[in-house]
Structure 1
Amino acid sequence: MTDNNSNNFTTATEAWTAFAVGEAKGYAVDIAAELGLSEGELVAAGIGTNVVRLDADWGDFIPRLEELGQVKILTRNPSVVHEKIGTFGKISINGEMGLVLNHDVDLRLFLGHWGHAFAVETDNPRAGRRRSFQIFDHDGRAVHKIFLTDQSDEAAYDKLIGDFKADTQLPGIEVLPPLPKAVTLPDQDVDVENLRAHWRRMTDVHQYHGMLKDFNVGRQQGMRLAGPEFAERLSADALKTLLEKASESGISIMVFVGNSGAIQIHTGPIKTIREMGDWINIMDPTFTLHLRMDQVFEAWIVRKPIREGMVTTIELYDRDLNNFAIFCGERKRKDPENPDWQKLAESLPRLENTMAAVAE
């Protein structure tokens, strides 16, 4: 998220105080960046005033989020923001992996990346009073946020704060440098034919990540090397076409957005699509998506074999070739892919065809 306005704050405390009452310009992550800080460091500057540091065993804390009732959950990365309204439930925690499978609140949680947690309260003329739990990675980047709504149980929220409040409530946090990127094989060292053979033999979509890891290739690298049988580049306008056609058809789709510590999923039809500058937005009652179209450096259609046929995904990558969003059709386990979704996905314009048309 970006904002063209800038502030002239000199300290995190000054910046957070202004942000909390609506006197700062921009989003918290951008205000922090102006100071050379992570968002987590900015929020931590408010500890002792309107921010409470939490000390939680995630296996104890996450199941109790169901006590809040209806909430708005938010997961984002630098290119897209994914928001859902619903309730926690159907929660399982197994070591560093957490699952929440309560339909509207559908999350995959990678708890080894949950480094800092806060209860945060802000109050400003535009947004009003907002109370939330906010989780940050060890390097201070936002992982997941849970906002109260008018339907939430505020007493339950206060009880959770009381039960998980850290003993130390001094401002500030220590952050770690970002983790290094995974080292993958150079293209020329990859056994491409073997990669394609194993890709062809997949029987479950969840085998995909393990296959890439076995061959020590990155996600975008694997698609490039696998070739058009399995993956093809899409044109720059494919995303807009996808959303508009999905909205018009009423097809139930799945939208995945994630970061180091969480993947958040929407399942269902989408309806209201709005473009605002560089952003394309889904603006539905219980699901909103804000995606920066200028961050879509590459878009791909990807085909992953399963026992029941094929799963087709539309995947978006930024300039650093990081995957930041995935779209697919709703499919229940052991069911074949919805042919209407597959037809929609396969109808999207390919980059090669677009380039050829421009050259003519």
Structure 2
Amino acid sequence: MNENNFKTPQEAWAAFSAGEAKGYAVDIASELGLTEGELVAAGTGKNVIRLDVDWGDLIKRLEELGEVKILTRNPSVVHEKIGTFGAVSINGEMGLVLNGDVDLRLFLGRWGHGFAVETNNPRAGRRRSLQFFDHEGQAIHKIFLTAKSNEAGYDALVDEFRAENQEPGIETLPPLPKAVTRKDEEVDVDNLRAHWRKMTDVHQFHGLLKDFNVGRQQGLRLVGTEFAERLSNDALKTMLESASESGLPIMVFVGNAGAIQIHTGPVKTIREMGDWINVMDPRFTLHLRMDMIAEAWIVRKPVREGVITTVELYDADLNNFAIFCGERAPKDPENPEWQKLAEELPRFNAKEHALAG
């Protein structure tokens, strides 16, 4: 439903950026049958500047902005951190930012469009940002200036990387096809378990799934309870509240096709609002739709130091949209307090679920 009754992307963007539209940019775009990237691009030539740059070159320069708020999201969860860029490494299409609060894994081959965006509305005031979208027009990553940011540095970067073409609009590609994985009955489950048991580093997990040509959730289902067990869908709330009460530092991973953003540290202020559960801390906020949790899993991945325990969330299409684990330095064993918290989370009860449905 077009709640705002906009006729054109330009009209919708002008109203949104002035604070006169109802909803978030992604929702307003959806009302018009557009992606968010297409909506933002409609403002090019006015309060949006198209960027033309090798993404890795720009990321290496973001330290010049000083303190910023970074945002990475997918349809189920929004992850926001305040910090500064630095400690950047770019290796081909892979980018790493390992600068404390700004902790990112970037898959630059998926980055298609970038813009400098300025909005000004009575509620939020003037907001300046860099916003990046994939080739299909879906949001990948956003960087917002704060009161402590270097505005002159922002202006200099935008001027340097400004594209010649400042006409409104972008060309988008159709979504990529979904990966075709093996059928359950075609998977050598005993061999999968044997190779899972021999992992020595969590980063081997993706390669293991690829070697057996299984999806992530499919692998959890097939490998058995030694390594993965389905949790109750309300286990996330229990986990966050327990971590808050104890002060236990955790890691929170949220990503999409082009970026993964990570929080490391305690979570203090937990607020439930309707379908949303929120972390509302000064330098970290998380907004997660609990009604989008189709499945939750506890997963155990062997490493040289023992085992890494993660809590993983999946949506109705069985896409992984968030991962939680205990804070851990490289080559250190897992914090036993985190392992205890995770292992005590309520398991999924099929009978209770059926009755509730």
TM range (shorter): over 0.9
Task: State the one-letter code of the partner of 1:14.
Answer: E
Shift of 1:354: 7.5
Deviations 1:139-189 (A, max 9, x none): 000000000000000000000001000011000000000111111000000
Partner of 2:288: 291
Using the size of structure 1 for normalisation, the TM-score is 0.97
Partner of 2:223: 226
Distance 1:110 1:274 in 2: 32
CA contact (8 A) 2:2 2:31 kept: no
Given candidates 299, 319, 329, the residue that maps to 1:302 is: 299
Cα gap change, 1:338 to 1:358, in 2 (>3 Å): farther
Matched, 1:104 2:96: no
Partner of 2:171: 174
Q: Report the secondary structure of 1:98's partner residue.
A: strand
Instruction: Provide the aligned C-alpha RMSD in A.
Output: 1.4
Distance 1:312 1:106 in 2: 20
Q: Report the secondary structure of 1:15's partner residue.
A: helix
Task: State the one-letter code of the partner of 1:136.
Answer: F
Shift of 1:320: 0.2
Partner of 2:278: 281
Deviations 1:112-142 (A, max 9, x none): 0110000000000111000000000000000
Matched, 1:183 2:180: yes
Deviations 1:181-209 (A, max 9, x none): 11100000000000000000001010000
Deviations 1:268-318 (A, max 9, x none): 000000011100000000000000000000000000000100000000000
Q: Report the secondary structure of 1:351's partner residue.
A: coil
Distance 1:237 1:178 in 2: 32
Distance 1:25 1:358 in 2: 38
Describe how 1:112-261 pairs up with structure 2 within 5 A: 112-261=109-258
Runs of at least 5 residues in structure 1 that lack an aligned partner in the other structure: none
Using the size of structure 2 for normalisation, the TM-score is 0.98
- Between 345-354 and 198-207, report the one with greater CA deviation: 345-354
Distance 2:226 2:236 in 1: 21
Cα gap change, 1:354 to 1:100, in 2 (>3 Å): farther
Shift of 1:58: 1.6
Distance 1:19 1:357 in 2: 42
Describe how 1:11-160 pairs up with structure 2 within 5 A: 11-160=8-157
CA contact (8 A) 1:5 1:25 kept: no
Give the fraction of aligned pairs with identical amino acids, expressed as a percent: 78
Cα gap change, 1:353 to 1:252, in 2 (>3 Å): farther
Shift of 1:355: 2.9
Give the aligned length: 356
Distance 2:246 2:254 in 1: 22
Runs of at least 5 residues in structure 2 that lack an aligned partner in the other structure: none
Distance 1:92 1:239 in 2: 33
Shift of 1:59: 2.3
Given candidates 243, 258, 262, the residue that maps to 2:259 is: 262
Partner of 2:340: 343
Distance 2:350 2:166 in 1: 59
Q: Report the secondary structure of 2:349's partner residue.
A: helix
Q: Report the secondary structure of 1:115's partner residue.
A: strand
Q: Report the secondary structure of 1:203's partner residue.
A: coil
- Between 347-356 and 21-30, report the one with greater CA deviation: 347-356
